[in-house]
Structure 1
Amino acid sequence: MAHQSSSAARLSPSSDTEDMVMLLAPRLAYFAGVARTEHVTRAAQEMNVPQSTLSRSMARLEQDLGVDLFARHGRTVSLTPAGRTFLASVERALAEVERAAEEVKADADPATGKVAFGFLHTMGAETVPGLLQAFRADHPRVRFSLVQNYGEAMLEGLRAGELDLCLTSPVPDAPDLVARRLDEQKLRLVVPADHPLATRRRVRLAEAADETFVTLEPGYGMRRITDDLCQEAGFKPRIAFEGEEAETLRGLVAAGLGVALLPPPAVPRPGVVELTVTAPRAVREIGVAWLEGRPDTPPVAAFKRFLLSRRGSLLP
């Protein structure tokens, strides 16, 4: 006959799942050990716990569930049908906990751990591969989970615990984040090869006031910088196309669909000319950011130190 107790009432269908887990979790490994050996004394010896503690734990577990998990036969026990059903799920749960524990330990290993690193799309061709190559010269087995995204999305990734560090622009200023300026990158006015300005090497941004612009979408750091620089130059840009990739924008410029403010390309793009902007000062600051107060694993701490050591020489 199944045991009944006031504890069983706490596991009624209306109970919170969190309360159930808190109630049962500490006893699951004990239950699996007894089920494996079918002997309380032997299980207690293998798990290095007093037999009395193990016996009381199993009795309370049955009381809390409101069912018999074991049939007693002197010093030995055997699982009831309910116990076999429960054991199958308990073993899966314990195996998942063990897998998760091994994963987080592996990710924190100083030599072979993992860094979740975010960066802007425009830094993916040269800057980030060069950084990773230099870092792995001294940390050859550290692993990376790499995420390319726009600035605001990466900051949300930091807050959500999906990223450890990110390279972004503009350098964020938020109370829950720590950010350090690492370098700055000059921006160019990109025009079609047959544009009247294409014969020039330098240009004031105000000279493009009547041009149609192609830009990144709102929320991207370069879009905000473009809007701010144009405002500083005395005009609001007339925008024809918005995109998500700098190289896509260069393609639109090459097709004669507008001009753009962009960082230098990794490889020169045919069909466009890139002009130095003399006024206003057209640069974007590149910085590294992380979440305030979050402890670093050894590999994350090592990569953070490496990035900070590259101040002023981050960009190729």
Structure 2
Amino acid sequence: MAHKSSSESRLSPSSYEQDITHLLAPRLAYFEAVARHEHVTRAAHELAVPQSTLSRAMVRLEADLGVALFARNGRTVALTPAGRTFLTTVERALAEVERAADSVRADADPTSGKVNFGFLHTMGSETVPALIRAFRADHPRVRFQLVQNYGEAMLARLRSGELDLCLTSPVPDAPDLVARRLDEQRLRLVVPDDHRLASRKRVRLSEAADETFVTLEPGYGLRRITDDLCEEAGFKPRIAFEGEEAETLRGLVAAGLGVALLPPPAVARPGVVELSVTGQRAVREIGVAWLDGHPDTPPVAAFKEFLLSRRGHLLPD
């Protein structure tokens, strides 16, 4: 029969650290109470555990550490120098655990908890502030941790647990996510005010086939929609600039760098004309998404219900 070498049978340092942590963690509060009282019976009474259970736990703790933590005299105990060193760190560790517990309880509080909420850059100037203002009329103490980013980045944060909910476009279709369509925006072809099409109110996208475009970078939902609409209109857009923010693109259109397909602006910008696109359904759907199976805290559940109640009325007219 083959025998394992001594090096194979020993735990690696990382495995040992994980195992010793699992062994020690349940006993740290017991140790702190015994050290504080210097008496096993009084500590057992405070912890509401049998004295025999507490005594055995301390013996196992010392055995696992390989160090004597207490000098015993009957049920009275005194810390050894090693025990005093261990106690200092244990007290800090338990205080951190308590702070962590207080923090997560506070975040889940129905009246004053926290919602981690992501949204698109184009939703930041008016839509999201108006939503939060309306929600806080009935939930004035709920707190928000806000993330403004493009769609794929927010979905990654949903999957990592950094976000509870996000407003995104296009509405995602993925097995690990739940998404609900809330509203849509009609996209407009934005041209400089001295452009050959500027005198028009409506335009077919195919009429801009020879133009250069300024667009958002690949990975942005609006860029994908732009590419798809141009392909549907029979051309591939020539890209002069790829950016990260819609209003920057409007400024570049005003400067004559190209044309752009964009949702309506929060505030009208001088130097550009915004044309309705006909012949195609040129819209951007906006939806809310969350991680499937992820339990909601009460404030998250309340905000989710609020968003779903705004279907068809999420965006300003």
TM-score by length of 2: 0.94
Mean Cα deviation higher: 234-243 or 48-57: 48-57
AA of the residue aligned to 2:308: L
Q: CA deviation at 1:191?
A: 0.9
Matched residue, 1:219: 219
Name the structure 1 match of 2:127.
127
Q: Is the 8 A contact 1:216 1:242 kept in 2?
A: yes
Cα deviation, residue 11, structure 1: 8.2
Which of 77-86 and 156-165 deviates more? 77-86
Whether contact under 8 Å (2:183, 2:286) holds in the other structure is: yes
1:238-265 superposed Cα distances (whole Å, 9 cap, x missing partner): 0010010111111111111111101111
Q: Show the 5 A alignment for 1:259-274.
A: 259-274=259-274
Give CA deviations for 1:143-190 in whole Å, capped at 9, x if unaligned. Answer: 111110100011111100000011000000000000110111011111
| Counterpart position of 1:294 | 294
Report the counterpart of residue 69 of structure 2 in structure 1.
69
Task: Please list, as runs of the form range in 1=range in 2, the aligned pairs for 1:270-281 lying within 5 A after superposition.
Answer: 270-281=270-281
Aligned partner letter, 1:131: L
> Residue 18 of structure 1: CA displacement?
2.0
Aligned-residue offset at 1:13: 4.4
Aligned counterpart, 2:312: 312
- State the partner residue of 2:5: none
Q: Which moves more between the two structures, 21-30 or 71-80?
A: 71-80
Question: Which residue number in structure 2 is paired with residue 283 of structure 1?
Answer: 283
Alignment check: 8 A CA contact 1:182 1:314 kept: yes
Deviation at 1:43, TM superposition (A): 1.1
Relative distance call for 1:253 and 1:42 in structure 2 (3 A) is same
SS in 2 for 1:196: coil
**2:165 equivalent in structure 1:** 165
Aligned-residue offset at 1:279? 2.4
Query: Is the CA contact 1:11–1:64 (under 8 Å) kept in the aligned structure 2?
Result: no
Aligned to 2:92: 92
- 1:139 has 2:147 as partner: no
Percent identical: 83
> 2:113–2:299: 8 Å Cα contact kept in structure 1?
yes
Q: Please tell me whether the aligned partners of residues 20 and 64 of structure 2 are also in contact (alpha carbons under 8 angstroms).
A: no
Name 2:29's counterpart in structure 1: 29
Give the superposition deviation at 1:14: 6.3
Count of matched residue pairs: 308
Structure 2 letter corresponding to 1:286: I
* Residue 209 to residue 15, structure 1, CA distance change in 2 (3 Å): closer
Change in CA separation of 1:252 and 1:12 when aligned onto 2, cut-off 3 Å: closer
- Equivalent position of 2:53 in the other structure: 53
Query: Higher mean Cα deviation, 11-20 or 51-60?
Result: 11-20
> Which residue of structure 2 lines up, in the alignment, with residue 3 of structure 1?
none
1:179 is the counterpart of 2:196? no
How far apart, in 1, do the equivalents of 2:23 and 2:10 lie?
9
Structure 1 equivalent of residue 4 of structure 2: none
SS in 1 for 2:312: coil
Give the C-alpha shift of residue 133 in structure 1: 1.0
Distance of aligned partners of 1:30 and 1:172 in 2 relative to their CA distance in 1, 3 Å threshold:
same
Task: Report the TM-score when normalising by structure 1.
Answer: 0.94
2:229 maps to 229
Deviations 1:258-305 (A, max 9, x none): 111011111111211111111222100000101111111111111111
Paired residue secondary structure (1:199): coil
Q: CA deviation at 1:73?
A: 3.1
- How far apart, in 1, do the equivalents of 2:239 and 2:186 lie? 22
The residue type equivalent to 2:52 in the other structure is S
Query: Following the alignment from structure 1 to structure 2, what is the Cα–Cα distance between the partners of residues 15 and 215?
Result: 50
Displacement of 1:227 after TM fit?
A: 0.1
Shift of 1:15: 3.8
CA distance in 1, matches of 2:170, 2:12: 53
Paired position in structure 2 for 1:241: 241
* 1:106-159 Cα distance to aligned partner (Å, 9 max, x none): 111111111111100000011111111111111111111111010001111110
SS at match of 1:198: coil
Secondary structure in 1 matching 2:163: coil
Is the 8 Å Cα contact of residues 11 and 65 (structure 1) preserved in structure 2?
A: no
